[in-house]
Amino acid sequence: MNTTRLDSRRDFLKRAAILPAALAIARQYSQGAAFAATGVDLMPCVPFGKHFISRLICGANPFNGGSHLSGFVNREMRAYYTPEQILKTLRRCQEVGINCWQSSGAHVELYQRLVAEGGRMHYISLATKPDDIPQLVKAGCIGVAHHGEVTDHLFKSGQLDKVNELLKRIRDAGLMVGVSTHMPAVVDAIESKGWDLDFYMTCVYERHRTAEELKKLLGYVPIPVREVYLEEDPPRMFRVIRQTKRTCLAFKILAAGRLSDNPASVERAFRETYAGIKPTDAVIIGIYDRYSDQPAEDAAFARRFGAAAKN
């Protein structure tokens, strides 16, 4: 036997075995060059299909004027977030290492404009019907999740299987397939069904319990009923996030802004979320940068608590 040839083959196989990991590291660290000029440390990233997305993702609710706080705050957000300001905020996100935006079909044209003007952010969308999908494919969307509010309604009404109909259409379109939900029970149910999907968008607060559910859980009904955030909710969602092998994108970690007034509360929410989710998961955060540089502030927490070495 030719030992030289055998040794060469062994060396080749060893190199081939480490190649995927090496490529993954190279792709993640190649982003560092884009931020070197600003002195920003590398943002931790995770695989998402053939892409790598930052472990912090820019959400869309403030852009939409959906504060989940009050009509007054909604109007303030809508007044501030003109199309030009949304693009400005997204560019700032990119500067600090956030390379992904989660929104819906309503922002497809704005995303296309961002890319046309040199933006390099990925786009993950929500959808509710098959007709939503073609425009998302055309726009360069990398993944689509079934809309969480609709998901939860179907689950509560015993019609969860209807969600899978849209998932099949998303898969046929060649996109990453996801389900958004505010309920740990939905993740458990889908996992038990063995559906073909790649990721979940998981709200860490189950924010739309009925008055009857709240009374059974708390012994009373708080006001307002529609937007109740319980401290015990995030651990419940973290449990199902850790139990699934699929990527999870945790959102509303600041209880829709209710934890934003206190810097210590913001820091604790980021720390506990990254500690509670898997190293392959990411966080979606709504950004309202009218009064401070929230993209940089949030990115700093992601780098501090979301680095792979800390998981």
pLDDT tens, 106-139? 899 999 999 999 999 999 999 999 999 999 999 9
Instruction: Tell me if 122 is assigned to some domain.
Output: yes
Q: Using an 8 Å Cβ cutoff, are 63 and 93 in contact? A: no
pLDDT at position 67 is: 64
**Of 123, 144, 121, the residue nearest 132 (C-alpha):** 144
CATH code at position 129: 3.20.20.100
Question: Do residues 68 and 286 make contact, with C-beta atoms less than 8 angstroms apart?
Answer: no
Q: Are 137 and 174 in contact (CB under 8 A)?
A: yes
Question: Are 36 and 30 in contact, with CB atoms under 8 Å apart?
Answer: no
Contact 305, 275 (CB under 8 A): yes
Does residue 73 share a domain with residue 208?
yes
Same domain, 2 and 136: no
The upper half-sphere exposure of residue 303, i.e. CA atoms within 13 Å in the direction of its Cβ, equals: 14
Give dist(CA 80, CA 91) in Å, integer.
Answer: 16
The answer to whether position 36 is within a domain reads no
Are both 129 and 271 inside the same structural domain?
yes
Q: What is the DSSP string of 236-305?
A: HHHHHHHH-SSEEEEE-TTTTTTTSSSHHHHHHHHHHHHHHS-TT-EEEE---TTSS-HHHHHHHHHHHH
Q: Is 34 exposed, middle or buried (0-12, 13-18, 19+ CB in 10 A)?
A: middle
Interaxial angle between packed helices 233-243 and 184-193, expressed in degrees from 0 to 180 and rounded to the nearest 10:
20
Q: Are residues 104 and 9 in the same domain?
A: no
Cβ–Cβ < 8 Å for 196, 175: no
Distance CA 190, CA 192 (A): 5
Question: Would 238 be classed as within a structural domain?
Answer: yes
* pLDDT value of position 259: 84
Query: What pLDDT is stored for residue 146 in this prediction?
Result: 97
Beta bridge partners of 177: 144
Check residue 258 and give its pLDDT: 85
The reported pLDDT for the residue numbered 5 is: 47
Q: Is residue 35 part of a domain?
A: no
Question: Which regions in the chain score pLDDT beneath 70?
Answer: 1-41, 67, 69, 308-311
Residue 261 has a pLDDT of 85
Distance CA 302, CA 297 (A): 9
Structure tokens at 89: 């905020």
Cα separation of 154 and 146, whole Å? 11
Let me know whether 236 and 305 are in one domain. Answer: yes
For 53, the token pair is 């997305």
CB 46, CB 53: distance < 8 Å: yes
Q: Considering its fold, how many domains does the chain have in total?
A: 2
* Amino acid occupying residue 235: P
Burial bucket for residue 234 (CB in 10 Å: 0-12, 13-18, 19+): buried
Cα-Cα-Cα-Cα dihedral sign, residues 266, 271, 276, 282: positive
pLDDT, position 308: 54
Calculate the alpha carbon distances from 32 to 23, 42, 99, 108 in Å.
15, 5, 12, 27
Same domain, 186 and 247: yes
Check residue 74 and give its pLDDT. 83
CB atoms within 10 A of CB 64: 18
Q: Both 169 and 273 in a single domain?
A: yes
Residue 1's pLDDT is what? 46
Q: Are residues 20 and 165 in the same domain?
A: no
Q: Do 76 and 151 belong together in one domain?
A: yes
Give yes or no: residues 100 and 230 share one domain.
Answer: yes
45 plus 20 within the same structural domain:
no
Q: State which residues form the domain around 25.
A: 1-30
